[in-house]
């Protein structure tokens, strides 16, 4: 059964299997061997501590199935901002996209500024959850690869492609209303 056109929840876990964050829904735009691509507007988010909030901007999210990342592409008034989670490859289980978050993040702003985030949190969890040396190597290598993709504006860091996905989402949603 095709996932395209369906709404799925998103569950983000920590290395020990505990829930980190849940998004109530994302509309599946594409599902292929490499990626699951969803879009959403005002998705409800529940944090592990029970705090609830709604996303501010519309977003297109690309979940890699074979690589160690996912990217939330936030469509802001001044351009697209890309938030890349260094995370396990994503999978679909029933009506839910699932992945493990490994704290290291990279953010690409609309002015091409790139920032690495949460390095202290990564070191804390690396020790707390006893990440293997192999996992540490994969995560750091992926972070370097992502920064290079950001600098070159390679997929998924391509504004035109993300806008195309968002227009596709709007077309689907308008048909259903």
Catalytic annotation, pick one of 6, 21, 25, 153: 21
Q: What is the rounded CA–CA span in Å between residue 63 and residue 139?
A: 16
Q: Is 21 a catalytic residue?
A: yes
Active site positions, annotated: 21
């Amino acid at each position: 059964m095709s996932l395209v056109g369906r709404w799925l929840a998103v569950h983000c876990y920590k290395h020990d299997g505990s829930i980190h964050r849940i998004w109530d829904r994302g509309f599946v735009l594409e599902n292929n061997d490499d990626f699951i691509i969803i879009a959403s507007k005002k998705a409800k988010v529940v944090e592990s501590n029970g705090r609830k909030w709604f996303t501010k901007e519309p977003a297109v999210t690309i979940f890699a199935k074979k690589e160690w990342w996912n990217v939330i592409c936030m469509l802001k008034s001044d351009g697209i901002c890309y938030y890349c989670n260094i995370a396990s490859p994503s999978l679909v289980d029933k009506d839910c996209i699932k992945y493990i978050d490994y704290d290291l993040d990279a953010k690409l702003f609309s002015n091409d500024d790139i920032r690495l985030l949460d390095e202290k949190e990564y070191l804390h969890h690396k020790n707390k959850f006893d990440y293997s040396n192999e996992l540490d190597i994969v995560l750091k290598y992926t972070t370097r690869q992502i920064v290079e993709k950001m600098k070159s504006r390679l997929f998924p860091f391509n504004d035109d492609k993300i806008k195309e996905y968002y227009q596709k989402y709007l077309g689907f949603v308008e048909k259903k209303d």
